[in-house]
């Protein structure tokens, strides 16, 4: 990788720059980059002007020149070649590589992500691990990035601009970054392999014309890890070596196991390879599935009970210390194959089971959606390997991983015959890792109970929003629950609990609504209830805009996309009789609503109305000045009125006409939907419809409450013998 060949690309029109990306000079006038950074997405065409800056901004002079698009891949792969207006002749040439084998390779690259932009775009040294086995059905390389930016507060992609970065392994160009993967917390990028495009006739002809000749691919593999001198070994290697000595220190046959392990991990093992214990530690430290894979063969060779107990202790300590993962290579491949089939046949089963039986675990983002995509399985499995299910186990035995608990529940839901293979897999993992049979049996019994109990579908989203008062900007904390009609709920955990902008909260709410949308039926409108403190009832949460959901559908506020209503649980804590009055008003038969449109209505007068002529009123419509409205609104809530409607933009009762189009005193049942439709029309025609309706809607008996799934502890004294 030559820093002088780094290219910053800006594309757009002659008047305005629209896209920024990265590239690499592969010949004196040829720049390799990603095609999408040159495209006008709205017109499905390419921008008319392209400017490039060649060279590393921190390594001497850079050259600015123009360029034109001269090649894109005929099968629409996201790769392109630019021809610069000026010739940039640099020493050396580009070598092209093709990673082979199973072992992860180190990679590096230079690009211009948005996260590194200050006054201008600064170069970022990308580096990490390329695991060949993580390439999915689309054939893209996975790049597990070591230094990674946080998600941006403004919603823009932190990796934006890194597309087009050339990826190098062992100083061979092996691929091109084309996108990021936010499911992995911004720590994973995707790259198109070089072998997918360098064989194209048009690509080869251009390299023949402008470079030394057509590209020649060289197969490259990861070098076999070997021990560094004792003073240079990492703490992980030193700890791993100490643990391995406790199991293998006195055995003369361990080299056979190490040789087999190295081959299984995808390394080329020469005949002269005679590994030491330190070499084995280096191998294990470099591959998180090495130690579990080694233990799979050691279990068969360890005949003594003491040796078996020591191996279990080593695996437990290594996992707790982050030195290895739970599953061996074979176990992981078997599980992924089983789960891919389940995702294809029943894509909602795995995320539903995870949310219901692992309620107290922090779930990865793919499990907080309705459908689980097969491409996300590897991330889900790796995340669940690292946590236990928090249930009790017999003394001196390892905790049960959350992954095994989930596997048991999925197997139970599939049925006796269809889930048999998944249960066999669970038995094998439990036996290898030393999990007590009684602990696994208890989870299996509990899984059967769960599968037999048909939980009602989710019906709405409940969002708790509170101000982040210590933040200098407009920020909020957000917690989301998926609620059922029977009052039970499931909490959607998130990886990042920092304060969020209104746009970020809106995106989270929209994502949560998508989780329950499939369970609502084809005609039901999704409903989100926002719980706020009484001093936050005025917040325009329904106007918060999450941005466009995709490149085809335009953006709109969440209040126009689905029903957004407010609730103020705080009032029930302050007013003892509120819950009783709330219930009575709902059961009264929905008498005519009370419309407050007279400036002479004071707090005492409103109280008399709500306790006499409108004692059974379920709804109040407030048309009054802002300085009067807050006190009247709080009085309505304190007296148990479950539905209150007002216009945030109204300055006086004369502005009442602004809400007439939504028929504020019409049928109560579909009022939230009428408000949603009005909000959408007001978003499209803000000058024609200036009103901004806010709606408190607190249904009877639909307060979400937690539910528990009972677990029975394994019997005391049930220890391995």
**Within a domain: 331:** no
Helix/strand/coil percent split, the chain, to 5: 35, 20, 40
Please give the Cα distance from 387 to 124 (Å, whole number): 33
**Within a domain: 17:** yes
Q: What 3-state class would DSSP assign to 465?
A: strand
**Within a domain: 327:** no
| 51 and 199 in a common domain | yes
pTM beyond cutoff 0.95 = no
Reported as a single tens digit per residue, the pLDDT across 183-225 is 666 788 999 999 999 999 999 999 999 888 888 899 988 888 8
Which residue, 141, 139, 100, 142, is CA-closest to 266? 100
**Within a domain: 338:** no
Q: What is the pLDDT of residue 348?
A: 86
Please give the Cα distance from 565 to 542 (Å, whole number): 8
Alpha-helical (H) ranges within 419-546 are 420-433, 437-452, 502-517
Reported as a single tens digit per residue, the pLDDT across 653-686 is 888 899 999 999 999 989 999 999 999 999 999 9
**Within a domain: 169:** yes
**Within a domain: 330:** no
- Would you say residue 494 has pLDDT above 90? no
Alpha-helical (H) ranges within 436-587 are 437-452, 502-517, 558-561, 570-574, 578-587
| 191 and 166 in a common domain | yes
| 80 and 112 in a common domain | yes
Q: What is the pLDDT of residue 181?
A: 78
Reported as a single tens digit per residue, the pLDDT across 339-348 is 999 998 888 8
- Listed in order, strand segments (DSSP E) in 102-161 are 105-111, 124-130, 141-145
Residue 49 neighbours by CB distance under 10 Å: 16
- Would you say residue 464 has pLDDT above 60? yes
Please give the Cα distance from 668 to 569 (Å, whole number): 22
Q: Which helix (H) or strand (E) segment is 210 a member of?
A: helix 201-210
Q: Average pLDDT for residues 703-712, to the nearest whole number?
A: 43
Do 358 and 366 form a contact (C-beta atoms < 8 A)? no
DSSP string, 263-311: HHTT----TT----HHHHHHHHHH-TTHHHHHHHHHHHH--SHHHHHHH
Query: 450 — phi, psi (to 5°)?
Result: -60, -45
Q: What residues form DSSP beta bridges with 185?
A: none
Q: Could you tell me the CATH number of the domain that includes residue 189? A: 2.40.10.120
| 244 and 126 in a common domain | no
Query: Where does a domain end: 174, 195, 223?
Result: 223
Q: What is the pLDDT of residue 713?
A: 34
| 547 and 576 in a common domain | no
Domain of residue 360 covers 349-452
Query: Where does a domain end: 279, 304, 320?
Result: 320
Please give the Cα distance from 42 to 19 (Å, whole number): 13
Please give the Cα distance from 529 to 462 (Å, whole number): 5
Query: Where does a domain end: 303, 320, 337?
Result: 320
Please give the Cα distance from 427 to 435 (Å, whole number): 9
Q: What is the pLDDT of residue 17?
A: 64
Q: What is the pLDDT of residue 422?
A: 95
Please give the Cα distance from 343 to 372 (Å, whole number): 6
Q: What is the pLDDT of residue 711?
A: 38
Q: What band does 119 get if pLDDT is binned at 50, 70 and 90?
A: low
Residue 174 neighbours by CB distance under 10 Å: 26
Q: What band does 621 get if pLDDT is binned at 50, 70 and 90?
A: very high
Do 589 and 616 form a contact (C-beta atoms < 8 A)? yes
| 72 and 204 in a common domain | yes
Maximal CA-CA distance, the chain: 98
Q: Which helix (H) or strand (E) segment is 340 a member of?
A: helix 329-345
Reported as a single tens digit per residue, the pLDDT across 626-641 is 889 999 999 999 999 9
| 615 and 493 in a common domain | no
Q: What is the pLDDT of residue 598?
A: 84
Q: How far is CA 529 from the centre of its chain?
A: 23
Q: What is the total count of domains within the chain?
A: 5
Q: What band does 524 get if pLDDT is binned at 50, 70 and 90?
A: low
| 66 and 22 in a common domain | yes
- Only one residue has tokens 């070994």, namely 233
For the chain, how big is the Rg over CA atoms in Å? 31
Q: Average pLDDT for residues 151-170, to the nearest whole number?
A: 82
Ramachandran assignment for 143, one of left (phi > 0), alpha (psi -120 to 50 degrees), beta (any other): beta
Q: What's the mean per-residue pLDDT of the chain?
A: 85
**Within a domain: 618:** yes
**Within a domain: 474:** yes
| 717 and 686 in a common domain | no
Residue 312 neighbours by CB distance under 10 Å: 21
Which residue, 406, 245, 254, is CA-closest to 326? 406
Reported as a single tens digit per residue, the pLDDT across 11-50 is 887 666 678 899 999 999 999 999 999 987 666 678 888 9
Query: 219 — phi, psi (to 5°)?
Result: -75, 130
| 614 and 557 in a common domain | no
Which residue, 217, 226, 351, 353, is CA-closest to 278? 226
Do 668 and 590 form a contact (C-beta atoms < 8 A)? yes
| 73 and 153 in a common domain | yes
Q: Which helix (H) or strand (E) segment is 491 a member of?
A: strand 489-492
Retrieve residue 636's tokens.
Answer: 């309505």
| 711 and 689 in a common domain | no
- Would you say residue 575 has pLDDT above 90? yes
Reported as a single tens digit per residue, the pLDDT across 253-287 is 678 888 888 888 888 888 888 888 888 888 888 88
């Amino acid at each position: 990788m030559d820093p002088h060949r780094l290219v910053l690309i800006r594309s757009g029109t002659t008047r305005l720059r629209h896209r920024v990306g990265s590239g690499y000079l592969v010949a004196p006038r040829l720049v390799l980059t990603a095609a999408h950074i040159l495209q006008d997405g709205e017109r499905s065409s390419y921008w008319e002007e392209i400017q490039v800056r060649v060279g590393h901004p921190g390594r001497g002079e850079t050259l600015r020149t123009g360029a034109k698009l001269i090649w894109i891949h005929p099968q629409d792969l996201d790769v392109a070649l630019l021809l610069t207006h000026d010739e940039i002749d640099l020493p050396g040439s580009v070598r092209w590589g093709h990673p082979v084998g199973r072992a992860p390779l180190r990679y590096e690259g230079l690009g211009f992500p948005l996260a590194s932009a200050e006054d201008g775009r600064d170069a970022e040294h990308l580096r990490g691990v390329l695991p060949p086995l993580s390439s999915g059905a689309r054939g893209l390389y996975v790049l597990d990035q070591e230094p990674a930016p946080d998600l941006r507060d403004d919603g823009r992609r932190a990796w934006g601009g890194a597309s087009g970065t050339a990826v190098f392994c062992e100083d061979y160009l092996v691929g091109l970054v084309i996108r990021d993967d936010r499911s992995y917390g911004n720590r994973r990028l995707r790259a198109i392999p070089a072998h997918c495009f360098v064989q194209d006739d048009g690509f080869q002809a251009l390299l023949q014309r402008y470079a030394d000749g057509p590209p020649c691919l060289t197969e490259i593999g990861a070098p076999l890890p070997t021990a560094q001198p004792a003073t240079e070994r990492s703490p992980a290697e030193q700890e791993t070596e100490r643990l391995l000595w406790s199991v293998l220190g006195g055995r003369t046959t361990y080299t056979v196991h190490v040789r087999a392990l190295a081959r299984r991990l995808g390394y080329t093992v020469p005949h002269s390879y005679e590994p030491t214990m330190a070499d084995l530690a280096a191998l294990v430290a470099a591959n998180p599935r090495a130690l579990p894979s080694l233990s799979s063969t050691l279990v068969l060779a360890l005949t003594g009970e003491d040796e078996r107990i020591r191996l279990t202790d080593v695996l437990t300590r290594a996992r707790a210390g982050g030195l290895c993962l739970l599953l061996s290579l074979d176990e992981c491949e078997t599980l992924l194959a089983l789960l891919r089939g389940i995702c294809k046949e029943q894509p909602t089963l795995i995320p539903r089971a995870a949310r219901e039986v692992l309620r107290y675990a922090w779930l990865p983002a793919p499990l907080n959606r309705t459908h689980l995509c097969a491409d996300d399985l590897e991330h889900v499995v790796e995340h669940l390997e690292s946590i236990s299910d928090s249930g009790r186990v017999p003394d001196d035995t390892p905790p049960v991983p959350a992954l095994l608990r989930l596997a048991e529940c999925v197997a139970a839901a599939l049925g006796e015959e269809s889930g048999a293979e998944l249960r066999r897999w669970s038995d094998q993992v439990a036996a290898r890792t030393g999990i007590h049979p009684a602990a696994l049996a208890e989870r299996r019994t509990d899984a059967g109970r769960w599968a037999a109990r048909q939980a009602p579908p989710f019906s709405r989203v409940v969002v708790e929003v509170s101000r982040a008062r210590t933040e200098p900007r407009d920020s909020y904390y957000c917690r989301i629950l998926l609620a059922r009609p029977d009052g039970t709920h499931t909490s959607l955990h998130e990886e990042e609990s920092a304060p969020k902008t209104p746009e970020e909260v809106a995106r989270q709410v929209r994502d949560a609504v998508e989780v329950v949308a499939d369970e609502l039926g084809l005609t039901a409108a999704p409903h989100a209830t926002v719980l706020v403190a009484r001093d936050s009832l005025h917040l325009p949460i329904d106007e918060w805009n999450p941005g466009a959901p995709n490149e085809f559908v335009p953006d709109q506020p969440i209040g126009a996309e689905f029903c957004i209503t407010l609730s103020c649980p705080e009032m029930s804590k302050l007013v003892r009789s509120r819950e009783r009055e709330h219930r009575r008003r709902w059961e009264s038969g929905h008498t005519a609503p009370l419309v407050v449109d007279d400036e002479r209505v004071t707090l005492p007068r409103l109280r008399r109305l709500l306790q006499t002529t409108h004692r059974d009123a379920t709804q109040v419509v407030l048309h009054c000045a802002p300085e009067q409205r807050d006190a009247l609104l709080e009085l309505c809530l304190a007296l148990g009125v479950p539905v209150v409607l007002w216009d945030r933009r109204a300055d006086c009762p004369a502005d009442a006409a602004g809400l007439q189009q939504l028929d504020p005193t019409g049928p109560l049942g579909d009022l939230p939907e009428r408000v949603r439709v009005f909000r959408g029309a007001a978003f499209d025609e803000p000058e024609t419809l200036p009103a901004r309706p806010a709606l408190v809607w607190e249904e009877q008996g639909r307060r979400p409450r937690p539910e528990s799934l009972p677990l029975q502890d394994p019997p005391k004294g049930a220890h391995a013998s």
